[in-house]
Amino acid sequence: MSLVLLVDDEPRIGRALEFALEGSDFEVESISNAQQIEAQLERSRPDVILLDIALGLHSGLDVCRRIKANPRFADIPLLLLSGQSDPQTQAAGFGAGADDFVPKPFVPTELIARIQKRLDTQP
Amino acid sequence: MMTETSTSLNRTLAEYRKIMHLAPPVVRKGSSLIDVVAVLAADPRPGVVLVIDDNERLVGWILEDRLETDLTLLVSPDSVKDASEELRFQATRGLMQTAGDLMTEAASVTIRTTVKEAVDRMVQSQTHAAALVDDQKRLLGYVTLPEIMREMLTWGG
């Protein structure tokens, strides 16, 4: 069972993710406060991070840069979730160090394939 | 073949979980027409904009067709030659309306709804999509009729 950490301040995204991954080999943990992400990563290191770009007070892109700049967490695959899937937004996400980009709404088949691909390519 | 199709129609949507669209963009009842249009532009596939309340429960939807008339008239009034003054007035008034004013009752399903029930609800609402909710009527996403049909035909059920 692989652990997915969802960082999102909207509870409905967490419910949708749990629905999408039900019956799969993934377990979901969620946090809504991006300030707590490092503490959460120390406490329970996930196999994959799903981070929403729109995080209320915090920019998901800034959080992404912060995680990827930290040598202790930089190797954890990080996928950005966004309702904006235009090329500029995706480019900004990859520029911030994201490993992949998941547009919302997401379809379970594609989401699981993207997460699995990141796990398979991990050293 | 008839028996296979009947069997497929009696299956629940739980079997089509993997092709559902989850975490779609939404508006709240108090959202403006501009917000509604932005959400429709972000994901036009269902042909509707889903409306939720502060508890994230589905309270209705706004049909794309309903918006098209308003927007065409607002953006380019002369493009609709036969639009009556009354219709133009209504469209202009639409700018002041909220999602709560524009919404109608949504066709909704849960994963325990059968394919037949889902199709009936979509046909009744003259759409090709239905909102997917949980047992507390909180919005999860939506399903579309063409994708369910494609899945049934491609994979034999």
Chain B interface mutation, best of A7, A13, A17, A19, highest count of B Cβ atoms under 10 Å:
A19
Element (H, E) at B116: helix B115-124
Q: Does A113 touch chain B (CB under 8 A)?
A: no
Whether residue A50 contacts residue A17, with contact meaning beta carbons closer than 8 Å, is answered with yes
Q: Closest chain B residue to A15 measured between Cα atoms?
A: B140
Exposed (0-12), middle (13-18) or buried (19+): which is A79, by Cβ within 10 Å? buried
Q: What is the pLDDT of residue B79?
A: 62
Provide the pLDDT confidence category of residue B6 given band limits of 50, 70 and 90. Answer: low
Provide the pLDDT confidence category of residue A86 given band limits of 50, 70 and 90. Answer: confident
Q: Count of CB contacts below 8 A, A vs B? A: 59
Chain A interface mutation, best of B16, B22, B50, B136, highest count of A Cβ atoms under 10 Å:
B22
- Residue B4 CA to residue B152 CA, distance in Å, equals 10
Identify the weakest region by mean pLDDT among A22-31, A55-64, A108-117, B73-82: B73-82
- Residue B122 CA to residue B21 CA, distance in Å, equals 16
Indicate if the pLDDT at residue A52 is higher than 90: yes
- Contact flag A17-B23 (C-beta cutoff 8 Å): yes
- Contact flag B23-A108 (C-beta cutoff 8 Å): no
Determine the residue type at B146: P
Indicate if the pLDDT at residue B1 is higher than 60: no
- Cα first-last separation, chain B: 11
Indicate if the pLDDT at residue B2 is higher than 60: no
B56 CA to chain A: closest CA distance, Å?
Answer: 7
Helices (H), B16-63: 33-42
Domains of chain B and any CATH numbers: 4-154 (3.10.580.10)
Q: Does A84 touch chain B (CB under 8 A)?
A: yes
B10 CA to chain A: closest CA distance, Å?
Answer: 22
For range B134-149, the mean pLDDT: 95
Say what the ipTM of the complex is.
0.89
For range A9-38, the mean pLDDT: 91
Q: What is the pLDDT of residue B93?
A: 63
Whole-number percent of chain B with pLDDT over 90: 53
Q: What is the pLDDT of residue B8?
A: 80
Q: What is the pLDDT of residue A34?
A: 86
- Contact flag B23-A22 (C-beta cutoff 8 Å): no
Q: What is the pLDDT of residue B152?
A: 83
Mean pLDDT, chain A, as a whole number?
Answer: 92
> For B47-70, what is each residue's pLDDT tens digit?
999 999 999 999 999 998 877 766
- Contact flag A22-B17 (C-beta cutoff 8 Å): yes
Report the predicted TM-score, pTM, of the whole model to 2 decimal places: 0.87
